[in-house]
């Protein structure tokens, strides 16, 4: 027990002391994958702060996820982002992105958690300039049945790399994800998430599954 406590504390110290994070977007996804042919759509919104570029930002985008089978899932999104730069002036941009998730471990009696790896790319046009973000995360989640509801807390580390003419120096960062999925019915759920390093991003998502 002491060993696991030491590992957890060391990981948290590393995450908090990491280089300021380019936490552009929250993932709003647990480690569970959709079944083959199953779809989920919704809308996500959030707010964050990036100290490296001295700006605060807000985003809004609809998305669509699709279960490809074999524990593999794909997501597409498109939306808008606004950037409030401390140096003065606001920029409005557009975004489009794609994400793949592969569930490595599916919850069983012997292994009572889900584990997945997730990777994606989001492209932007902001103030007539480009911004590219590549990200990779490992997620762990566990579902709890509470009366008629299901709550699935999840979390894990994420690495991002950002570059483009809007951020010409480019940078790689690491931070932690903590979130939860609240499922009211088989088809309706909401999610909330916090990404935390030296900087942060937080948001909420409405999800409809069919």
Mean predicted confidence (pLDDT) in 188-195? 97
φ, ψ of residue 52 in degrees (nearest 5): -60, -40
- CATH number of the domain encompassing residue 205: 2.40.128.130
The domain total for the chain is 1
Give 91-124 pLDDT, tens digit per residue. 999 999 999 999 999 998 889 999 999 999 999 9
**Is the Cβ–Cβ distance between 137 and 118 less than 8 Å?**
yes
**Is the Cβ–Cβ distance between 205 and 43 less than 8 Å?**
yes
φ, ψ of residue 177 in degrees (nearest 5): -115, 135
Task: Report the C-alpha dihedral over residues 32, 73, 118, 31, rounded to 10 degrees.
Answer: 0
Mean pLDDT across the chain, nearest whole number? 88
Give 32-49 pLDDT, tens digit per residue. 999 999 999 999 999 998
Cα–Cα–Cα angle for 22, 26, 128, rounded to 5 degrees:
55
Mean predicted confidence (pLDDT) in 180-197? 96
Range of the domain at 73: 2-209
Predicted local distance difference test score (pLDDT) of residue 75: 98
Predicted local distance difference test score (pLDDT) of residue 17: 39
Predicted local distance difference test score (pLDDT) of residue 148: 86
Contact residues for 112 (Cβ-Cβ < 8 A; gap 6+): 142
Predicted local distance difference test score (pLDDT) of residue 133: 94
């Amino acid at each position: 027990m002491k060993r696991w406590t030491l590992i957890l504390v060391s990981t948290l110290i590393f995450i908090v002391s990491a280089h300021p994070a380019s936490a552009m977007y929250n993932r709003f996804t647990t480690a569970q994958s959709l079944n083959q042919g199953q779809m989920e759509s919704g809308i996500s919104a959030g707010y964050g702060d990036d100290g490296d570029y001295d700006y605060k930002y807000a985003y809004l985008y609809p998305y669509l996820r699709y279960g490809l089978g074999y524990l593999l899932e794909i997501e597409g999104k498109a939306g808008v982002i606004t950037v409030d730069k401390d140096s003065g002036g606001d920029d409005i941009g557009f975004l489009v992105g794609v994400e793949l998730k592969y569930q490595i471990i599916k919850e069983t009696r012997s292994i009572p958690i889900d584990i997945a790896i997730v990777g994606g790319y989001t492209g932007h046009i902001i103030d007539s300039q480009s911004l590219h973000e590549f990200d990779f995360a490992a997620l762990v989640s566990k579902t709890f049945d509470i009366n008629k509801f299901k709550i699935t807390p999840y979390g894990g580390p994420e690495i991002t790399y950002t570059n483009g003419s809007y951020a010409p120096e480019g940078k790689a960062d690491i931070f932690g994800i903590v979130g939860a999925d609240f499922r009211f019915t088989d088809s309706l759920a909401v999610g909330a998430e916090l990404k935390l390093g030296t900087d942060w991003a937080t948001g909420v998502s409405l999800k409809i599954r069919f």
